[in-house]
Amino acid sequence: MAADNAIFVGNKPFMNYVTAVVMQFTTQDAEEVTIKARGKFISRAVDVAEIAAKRFLNGQIYVDDIKIDSEEFENKEGKQVRVSTIEITLKKK
Amino acid sequence: MAADNAIFVGNKPFMNYVTAVVMQFTTQDAEEVTIKARGKFISRAVDVAEIAAKRFLNGQIYVDDIKIDSEEFENKEGKQVRVSTIEITLKKK
């Protein structure tokens, strides 16, 4: 199995991410897929997981685990900034 | 114990929610607090949980469980709409 079937959710069109998740499970035959996002894209990552699991692959995958965390980094002005992160792991039933 | 120490995150000032969570654990002596949000406020709910757990009550509480789900409802135009939801349960160590 591939070490890490991760989809990073950002500001591309919403359906790109849903399609990417669905393709991993179907054409790539992945056992699990992790959806990752930071900051304001966290809400979107949850939408991607819900739409993939309930509309496209209903009854075929489930939410196995959800982790939240924080990342600290230095912004352009040299100021220390904190951003929240999420990792949603979907698994084949 | 109170049946449900729930904080609903919306568009009030961010620190209101962090303070509400911290107060539940301190002055109200709650064993657990659930942070709930829908749609675009999901990212904010994760921020509230992270700031409460890592900045204000670091080492005293932990993320016990995270659930995501969808709610369907009819909007003003009579159209069926889906919105994602999150519930983050924080627990005293």
Q: For B13-65, write each residue's pLDDT tens digit.
A: 999 999 999 999 999 999 999 999 999 999 999 999 999 999 999 999 999 99
In this predicted structure, the answer to whether residue B10 has a pLDDT above a threshold of 50 is yes
CA dist B87 and A51 (Å) reads 18
Hey, are the CB atoms on B68 and A70 less than 8 Å from each other? no
A40 touches chain B (CB under 8 A): yes
Q: What are the extents of the domains in chain A? A: 3-92
Instruction: Tell me the three state secondary structure of residue B17.
Output: helix
CA–CA min distance B47, chain A (Å): 6
| Prediction pTM value | 0.93
Hey, are the CB atoms on B68 and A66 less than 8 Å from each other? yes
Tell me, what's the pLDDT at B39? 97
CA dist A93 and B67 (Å) reads 18
Hey, are the CB atoms on A46 and B84 less than 8 Å from each other? yes
Other CB atoms within 10 A of residue A7 CB: 23
Q: Phi and psi dihedrals of B18, rounded to 5?
A: -60, -45
For the purposes of burial, counting CB atoms within 10 Å of the CB of A93, is it exposed (0-12), middle (13-18) or buried (19 or more)?
Answer: exposed
Across residues A32-49, what is the average pLDDT?
98
B40 touches chain A (CB under 8 A): yes
Hey, are the CB atoms on B46 and A82 less than 8 Å from each other? no
Share of chain A above pLDDT 70, in %: 96
B49 touches chain A (CB under 8 A): yes
In this predicted structure, the answer to whether residue B3 has a pLDDT above a threshold of 80 is no
A42 touches chain B (CB under 8 A): yes
Tell me the pLDDT band of A40, cut-offs 50, 70 and 90: very high
CA dist A3 and A12 (Å) reads 25
Hey, are the CB atoms on B47 and A84 less than 8 Å from each other? yes
Say yes or no: ipTM exceeds 0.85: yes
Architecture of domain B3-92: 2-Layer Sandwich (3.30)
Across residues A57-69, what is the average pLDDT?
97
In this predicted structure, the answer to whether residue A1 has a pLDDT above a threshold of 80 is no
Tell me, what's the pLDDT at A77? 93
* Residue in B with minimal Cα distance to A48: B84
Tell me, what's the pLDDT at B2? 46
